[in-house]
Structures are given as structure tokens and as C-alpha cells.
A and B are shown apart, each in its own frame.
Chain A
Amino acid sequence: MKVLKSSLVLVLVVVMMFAFAACNNAAAPAADTAADTATAAPVADDGMVKVGIVNNPPSESGYRAANVADFEKVFTEANGYEVSTVYTLNIDEQLNAAAQFITDGVDYLLISAAATDGWDTVLTNAKDAGVKVILFDRMINADESMYEAAVVSDMAVEGQNAVAWLKSQNLEAYNVIHIQGVMGTAAQIGRTGALDAEFAAGTMTKVVQQTANWQADEAKDIVATVISAGTPFNVIYAENDDMAKGAVAALDEAGITHGVGGDVIIMGFDCNKWALRELLAQNWNFDQQCSPFQAAVIDEMIKTLEAGGTLDSKLVISEEKGFDATTITQEDIDTYGLGD
């Protein structure tokens, strides 16, 4: 009886393990096929450009999912690319994958680094092997001569864009609730910088400045506390869309109007599709893009280099738009929105 029971349990566990494995396969089919092609990469030169991509897994964030989808759309066989991709958040695995790509003899190595340091050996090897390195999304700590180009977001510019829009509203007074992301992240530092400058200059008043760790419910608690204290405010500057949504939930419960024509201006970052729909419905006022779309620019660069041309500049900052609720269109949502 006991043997029967434990063998039954064993079967159950094995089934569960398979279920898990199945989940993983479904979640990252690209990673599996990528690993296959990476090991079995054909040596024959058939006119295709061989590209190795080292990226973070799409499960990391909505931003990353859009980023991965963008690369999958542009770097295809039909476009003349033979692509191998490795997705991992682990810096050691990223370094190993990059080294493997160099060994396999790729023409271009595209890297979105999980950590900024530790890339020296890989970059040197790439240079020796004649592999051109293009950084995307994030910079790494290395001399400019070590890579061909970098296509990255500038979070500080995003903050400046948003603050410039806010100033253009010409409000009589700016009493701002500033909800920050996880302290110390590049996005938080960049998006906080411009607003902090206004607080320091005295052009805007800081009602409260608090981190909600990118979480909607924490943002809701923060705003609810301000409302309970009775401090007047007319702007909510949330450093991502989730937190802006949480803040709005607190306003709704307290019967405070928001958005176009409302008492409180709502500002978010990232341009999720659902957030842009809030803009279109005029429940929010402004959303600043953080562009995950670097593939087209890189595609252009590679085509130029393959044709024997040179790049105009090594560093390309992704052009990032801000959307105003009074001017946004459904087309903007379809083009620039993340997710669905």
C-alpha cells in the first residue's frame, strides 16, 4: 500500500515537472530555437548577415516584451538576417552566450546588458574576431572604441520632456505629488531629476515625494494619505503607468476629478496601450514614452555598414515622444502603445 502511494506521488511530481517544462517552452520558444541554431549554425556563407542578440527575457517587463517583439519583427530571414538570440537576466550567462556567438562567427553582436560591468573580455575578443558590437537599450561601462554603436534610451531626457510639457500648461500653481519608482534604478533617477530641479528652483511645490516601488497599490496608499491630510495638490507625476493608475484609483474613491478639465493633472510614463486609452478618454493628461523600439534603427545601421558606409554618430538616443490627452489619436495608440 505504502509503495503504491509513494509511486503515485512520484508520478504526480513527474507530471507536474513536465507541466512546468511545458510552460517554460511555451513562454520562451524563441530561446529554445535560438539555442539550437546557435549550436548548429551553418558555416556556409549564403549572403545572409549573421546576427547574435543577447537580450533580457521578455518576462522581465511589458517594456521588454515589446522590445523582444520588435527585434523578432525586424531581424528575420526575409530581411536577410540569420539570427540567434539568447534571453537571460544572468550576467554570466549573457557573457557566455556572447562568447559563444563570437566563436560561431557572427557578423554583428547586439547586446542589451543585464549589468553594466564585466564586458571587457568579450568586447576585446569581438574586436579581435572582427565582430561588430552594437549596444541597445542600455549602455555598458566600456570605452567608446570597443563598440560600433549604441542605441539607447535617455531617461533624463524623458523626465525633461514630461516636465517641459507640465510647464507649458501655465498653471497658476504647481502642487505636485511625485510618486517615484524603485529608488536607484536608471528610470527613477532619470525621471526624478528634471522634477527635482523644478522643486529646487521653486517653480513647483513638492506636496509629497515618495517611492511606490513601481507598484499601483502603494501609489494608491500614498495619494490616499495626502488626501486624508487635506493638503491641496493639482498635479500627480507618477514615474510609470501602473503607479499613475493606482493614484487615479485613490482620487476616484475620494471624489476628486482628474484628467482634461479635472482638478488634478495626471502624468505617467511608459505608454502602455491601456494608459494611452486613458489619455484618449481624457482621464489622464500626459504620458511619456520610453521607447523599446530600437530594431529599425539598428537594422538601418547594419545595412549602412554592410554597404561599406560609415555611421553618422556612435551614440543614438531613441527619439521618445510625449502624448497629450488633447491631441492623442487612436493611431498613436496603435503605433506607440505597449502590450494590448
Chain B
Amino acid sequence: MINGIKKIARSQLLVPIIALLALIIFNLFRDINFFTISLITNNEGNQVLSGNIISILTGASELAILAIGMTLVTAAARGQDISVGAAAAIAGSVFVNILRSTQITPGVIIGAFVACCLVAILFGMFNGTLVAIFKIQPMIASLILFTSGRSVAYWINGGASPTVESPLISHLGSFIPGIPIPTPVLVVIVFCIIVALILRFTNLGLYTQSVGINERSARLNGINSVWIKMLTFMFLGVCCAIAGVIAVSRIGLINHETILLDIEMDAILAVAIGGNSLGGGKFSLIGSLMGAYIIQALTITLYAMQVPSTDVKAYKAIVIIAIVVLGSPIVKRYAAQLRDKLAKKPMKVTENY
């Protein structure tokens, strides 16, 4: 038990855990009903779960999936892809336009999803090529798609904001009849299991880290660093496609200008809150996942507090500054010194930072 606590205290998950606990405790004192979960009947006549916790879990789905992809890109490429929102808009547009062209059946939905995955992977490869082969800074490389992506989505949509009306799509975006858990939450769970299995049974996780820590030595050890980087960008492409499809299915509408707007910044933030270095190398997917849910919990808390519209961003900024500073190397070192002093142990000279 004590060993477990010590382990957590030293792990990079300490800050996200503290942030999440702080949010929970704050809401407990503010209004205990915040945590109420109830089983209600929705307008389709299904029994479904409802409450703020459910809102947080389902609302953060797109962000959680993008944060996982962003973590891997960050780890291998030592930089961030800022075009994920634009790529998701493109993927969502492809998805919607395929569905609109025909009768919607489960088979068509799967086909449309595969198609938009392929498109998103292509755009991922475009970024990956610039980063891995031409050695362009990831943020600069993805700036191209960031600025042009939504125009491409506009072109795919033919200038309108098309809608898809189908019970199947709304099942995908909210609830499948008979299952009280929101579908986006199920998608995230399945996605996380698949990613965990891939990392568990292949060396990709290790390779990604080693490319990020020292590309030269990774290459000398026979790791194809170009391919690894390319792979992370392609994987992020798949993440964008899934996020785009979830976002479209939620509302049954794609608006290329506003869909998943600014999500790239939240995804990068989730990676940072998760205690991951934005300079690449070692990474923790659980940290990034927690980061994503912390961001959404913060948003829902601010809505529940009825913070005035004009002040929302300022409140968010204050909390995020606090979390990021708490996770900074200087504060961590200071905390370590304090801990050692309290434990009356000789101070350790070096810490990981």
C-alpha cells in the first residue's frame, strides 16, 4: 500500500491525479448533486444513463482519442500536429458525403468509415512525409493542413453544411437501443483496448520512445526512424477519422468551419497535463487520457457554475496555468526536496526532469 502510494507520488501521473481529485472535491463542496447519475427514458424510448459524469465521459470522447494519437506523434516526432481539427473536419465531410449518396445501412456506414480513415491516413502521411523525410518541425509541417484543411472540407461539402438523418447515425452518436451507455464512450473503450493490445504485443511503443529520445542511436540499433514517425502520423490520421465520425454522428450535421474547432490545442494540452514531455521520448497514454477527461470535466464544471460567457476562457486559463505549473520541472524538484526533508533523508541531487 505505502509502496503503491510512493510509486504514484514519483510517477508522472501525480499531477493529473491531483488535478482530477481537486476537481472532484471542488464539485463535492459546490453541489453534491453534480455527481448524480440517473436512468431515464430518452425520446426514442430507450433506458439511458444521464448526468454530469455521463456528459463528461461522452463529451470528452473525441478529445480522448485525439490525445492518444497526439501523444504518440509527440513521442516520436518531438513536436505536435496542429492539423487534427482540420483533418477531422475532412474525414467527417467524407463520411457524411458518402452516407448522403446512398441508402444508409450498417454496411454503408462501415464502408464510409473505412473510406474516411483512408483519406485521413493519406493526410497523415502528408504531414508524416514533411516531418520524417524533410525534417520539418511538426508544427510547421502541419500548419499547411491546419490552414487549408477546412477549405478542403468545404470543397467536399460543396459549400453547405450537410445533414444526415438516420436512426443508425444517431445510435452511433448517442445511444444504441438496449445499451444505457453512450456509444462514444464504448468507442473510446474499444479503441483504448486495441491500442493497449498493440503496445503490449509489439515493440512499437518501445521503438516510438527510442526514436523520440535519440533518433540517431535508434537508427544505429536498426530501428527505421522514418517509418516509425510516419506510422505515428498515420495512426493519428485514424484517430482524426474516428473523432470526426463521432462528432458528426452526435449532431447529424457537419459544419466544416466549427466542427471540432480548436481541438488541436485541447489535444496538445491533454498530452501536457498528462505529464508527458512535449519534447518527445517517454510517454504515458493514461496520462493523456486523464488530461482529456480533466479538460472536459473543467468545461462541464464551468457550465454548471454558470460562469458568464465572457469569463469562461479566463477561468479555464487560470486552472490550466495552475496544472501546468504544478507539473513543471522546477515545482517537481522543489516538491521532491520538500519530501526528502520531511522524510529526513539526504537530498537526492538529481531528479528526472
A253 & B155 in contact (Cβ 8 Å cutoff): no
A208 to B52, CA, bound (A): 16
Q: Tell me how many residues of B have a C-beta within 8 Å of chain A.
A: 53
B161 & A62 in contact (Cβ 8 Å cutoff): yes
Determine whether A58 belongs to the interface, using a CB cutoff of 8 Å to chain B: yes
Determine whether A197 belongs to the interface, using a CB cutoff of 8 Å to chain B: no
Smallest distance from the beta carbon of B312 to chain A beta carbons, Å? 7
A220 to B31, CA, bound (A): 21
B59 & A230 in contact (Cβ 8 Å cutoff): no
Smallest distance from the beta carbon of A121 to chain B beta carbons, Å? 29
Determine whether A242 belongs to the interface, using a CB cutoff of 8 Å to chain B: yes
Determine whether A54 belongs to the interface, using a CB cutoff of 8 Å to chain B: no
B261 & A215 in contact (Cβ 8 Å cutoff): yes
Smallest distance from the beta carbon of A31 to chain B beta carbons, Å? 12
> Which residues does chain A contribute within 8 Å of B299, judged by CB atoms?
221
A220 & B250 in contact (Cβ 8 Å cutoff): yes
A229 to B38, CA, bound (A): 12
Determine whether A210 belongs to the interface, using a CB cutoff of 8 Å to chain B: yes
Q: Which residues of chain A from 12 to 26 have any CB-CB distance to chain B below 8 Å in the complex?
A: 12-13, 16, 20, 23-24, 26
A12 & B41 in contact (Cβ 8 Å cutoff): no
B59 & A221 in contact (Cβ 8 Å cutoff): yes
- Contact A210/B126 with A221-B59, A249-B174 known, Cβ cut-off 8 Å: no
> Which residues does chain A contribute within 8 Å of B161, judged by CB atoms?
62, 242, 272, 274, 339
Determine whether B166 belongs to the interface, using a CB cutoff of 8 Å to chain A: no
Determine whether B203 belongs to the interface, using a CB cutoff of 8 Å to chain A: no
Q: Which residue of B lies closest to A231 (CB)?
A: B306
B160 & A62 in contact (Cβ 8 Å cutoff): yes
Determine whether B143 belongs to the interface, using a CB cutoff of 8 Å to chain A: no
Q: What are the 3 closest A-B residue pairs judged by CB atoms, nearest first?
A: A339-B160, A65-B159, A211-B309
Contacts A59-B155, A210-B306, A224-B55 known; 20 new A-B pairs at CB < 8 A: A23-B152, A26-B155, A58-B154, A62-B255, A69-B159, A208-B303, A211-B310, A213-B258, A215-B259, A221-B59, A221-B303, A225-B52, A225-B304, A228-B34, A228-B36, A242-B253, A253-B174, A255-B43, A257-B43, A274-B253
- Which of A's residues lie within 8 Å of B, judged by CB? 6, 9, 12-13, 16, 20, 23-24, 26-27, 58-62, 65, 69, 180, 183, 208-211, 213-217, 220-222, 224-225, 227-230, 242, 245-246, 249, 251-257, 272, 274, 338-340
